[in-house]
Amino acid sequence: MTECSVLIVDDHPVVREGYRRLIDLQPGLKIVGEAEDARTAYARFRDLQPDVVVMDVTLPGASGIEAIRHIRQYDGQARIVVFTMHLSAAFALKAVQAGATSYVTKSSDPRLLVEAIFGTLRGRTVISPDVIAEIARDRISGAGTGLGDLSPRQTEILCLLARGWPVERVAEELAISQKTVRNNHYQIKGVLGLETDAQLVWFALENGLLQTAS
């Protein structure tokens, strides 16, 4: 089995050791480096080119949000799992807007971090249930969000893609071609003003189209 490389970013050595013990137990994952602040995280990412980054957003000096932004500016395909104490829906949104691909709180079951790492490696977005609950509490009406500008078919495709389903599975489920799914995927993001699939998942959560992390 090919091992996927992981860079962990947290300013507490004890916490990083906990990450290492958890992640090193997972077949297919290998920690290749650690960083304690945003500047080091960016440098280590450039040097090591890890498959995924597990990052806290509370760091000394520049925040993890800035580290995420700088890493994504360097590599637009970088896969970053935020693992943090911050439960705030607004804070999570900032992380997603900066380029985070998944968001898990440290109060979650540790297995969810592992699920988020593997999910992110497969192109999925994983958001922990406690953050989803916060989003539900903060959610406002879908009016004016662009949801009403999507066709029923596009809304259906949006829901399935936001669950992390690959294009092939969506096409099979809806009995349409993969090209149609890809075209609609592109059009949906254009209509909603979204740039990434993580933002698409966030939009689905905010508008009540998803109820659980998937």
Q: Give the pLDDT confidence score for residue 141 in this predicted structure.
A: 41
The stretches in the chain having pLDDT less than 70 are 1, 90, 138-145, 148, 208, 210-214
* In a shared domain, residues 97 and 149: no
* In a shared domain, residues 25 and 110: yes
Q: Give the pLDDT confidence score for residue 202 in this predicted structure.
A: 82
User: Residue 191 contacts by C-beta under 8 Å, 6 or more apart in sequence?
Assistant: 146, 149, 150, 154
* In a shared domain, residues 125 and 157: no
Distance (Å) of CA 180 to CA 102, 147, 168, 169, 189: 27, 19, 11, 13, 14
Q: Give the pLDDT confidence score for residue 208 in this predicted structure.
A: 67
* In a shared domain, residues 41 and 116: yes
* Start-to-end Cα distance in the chain: 25
Q: Give the pLDDT confidence score for residue 78 in this predicted structure.
A: 96
Q: What are phi and psi of 101, to 5 degrees?
A: -100, -20
Number of domains in the chain: 2
Domain CATH number, residue 128:
3.40.50.2300
Q: Which of 137, 163, 179 is the last residue of a domain?
A: 137
Q: Give the pLDDT confidence score for residue 1 in this predicted structure.
A: 55
Domain that holds residue 175: 139-206
* 211 assigned to some structural domain: no
Closest CA to 83 of 139, 149, 32, 23: 23
Domain CATH number, residue 190:
1.10.10.10
* 213 assigned to some structural domain: no
pTM score above 0.75:
no
User: Residue 14 contacts by C-beta under 8 Å, 6 or more apart in sequence?
Assistant: none
